[in-house]
Structure 1
Amino acid sequence: MSIEVRDAEPSEYDAIGKIVEAAFAADGQLDAPDSAFYAGVLRDVAGRAGAAEIIAALDDGVVVGGVTFVPRGGPMADIAGDGEAEIRMLGVAPDAQGRGAGSALMRECLDRAARDGGRDGAPGARRVVLSTNTIAHGSHRLYERLGFVRDPARDWTPVPGVDLLCYVREL
């Protein structure tokens, strides 16, 4: 096993979208009756690639995960404020979980945020934020292992029945 993380290639967007959707579904995050819309959002990697950075995780050359990294603000930022980068839509194929792909994707986002804040070369972010569903307990453990802490004051509900927790990590 050899996990590699890098910018996703456009030819990989479809696979990443399906993987992220499958990861969210396996976690129970797409069980609500009206979740078909969000499943489509998760699959639309090409649609968010112009407004954020898409990072792929590969295991021995096969795409097994992806994440949307938002350097600072812009249309893909849900909760990031001034000086904050945001991590969104992290997913690892259910049959590839536990091999380090999720951690590798998170570390790459943290490195990018600290280093340069993103592809435009602006100064790095001061902190990284993310939202996660209350039921995504495995994800919560990953974030906490990487030094993220809960910020309950920033929890939010994007649509009725979907409660999101905010996690923050200072850089």
Structure 2
Amino acid sequence: MLSLNIREMNIEEIDIVRKIRLNSYSDYEVFVSKEHWSVLKNTLLSENDINSNSKIYVAEDENEIVGTVVLFPGEVKAYDWSDSVQSYPEIRMLAVEPSARKKGIARALMEHSLKVAKEEGNTEIGLHTATFMTKAASLYENMGFVRVPEKDLEPMNDGVIVKAYKYEL
């Protein structure tokens, strides 16, 4: 039985969080070029999340970290590879350990991020997801996120579009 606890990450847990990110995102390696995967992998391991006043949340099941998400504040450069800056917070790097999937962990992390953003006085929140991340896109759309195509990105100029979404809090 799932006994989920979501809390802010302790800095000494960053290596665990990064490992979960890599484990979670490794499924996508087959969808992109080696160069694209290298950039994505470096993003997952980047220091950007701990150097930007963002909040990293972890989901624990029976005291084991099984998922994570980053909530970047508005007006912060959330992507190493883009100068794009949004006026609203952005959810990034949602990741669930593959062995813990299909238990509602991703949705719980998303709902927690929405709650925190609203409590901080924000009226909207955004995120980006690559076209090949279809399960993630489905989750976001089912939660009420709407597409904002004018904020889409193509970081590698290789045809892989990172689709923008926004949610009114």
TM range (shorter): 0.7 to 0.9
Cα distance 1:31–1:153, how it changes in 2: closer, same or farther (>3 A)?
closer
Q: Distance in 2 between matches of 1:47 and 1:157?
A: 19
| One-letter code aligned to 1:17 | R
Contact map agreement 1:20 1:91 (CA 8 A) in 2: yes
Deviations 1:133-153 (A, max 9, x none): 001111011111211111122
What whole-Å deviation, never above 9, does each CA across 1:92-137 have from its counterpart, x for those lacking one?
Answer: 1111111111111101110111111xxxxxxx11111100000111
Alpha-carbon separation, structure 1, partners of 2:164 and 2:29:
19
TM-score, length-normalised on structure 1? 0.86
2:116 alignment partner in structure 1: 112
Deviation at 1:30, TM superposition (A): 6.8
Offset of 1:163 from its aligned partner? 1.2
For structure 1, which runs of at least 5 residues remain unmatched after alignment?
117-123
Give the conservation status (yes or no) of the 8 Å contact 1:58–1:101: no
**Distance of 2:30 and 2:74 partners within structure 1:** 26
Counterpart position of 2:5: 4
Identity in percent: 28
Equivalent residues, number = 162
- 2:73 is matched with 71
Match of 1:91 among 95, 108, 120: 95
In structure 1, what is the equivalent of residue 166 of structure 2? Answer: 168
The TM-score normalised by the length of structure 2 is 0.87
Distance 1:38 1:156 in 2: 14
Counterpart residue number, 2:64: 62
* Higher strand residue share: 1
How far is 1:66 from its partner? 0.8
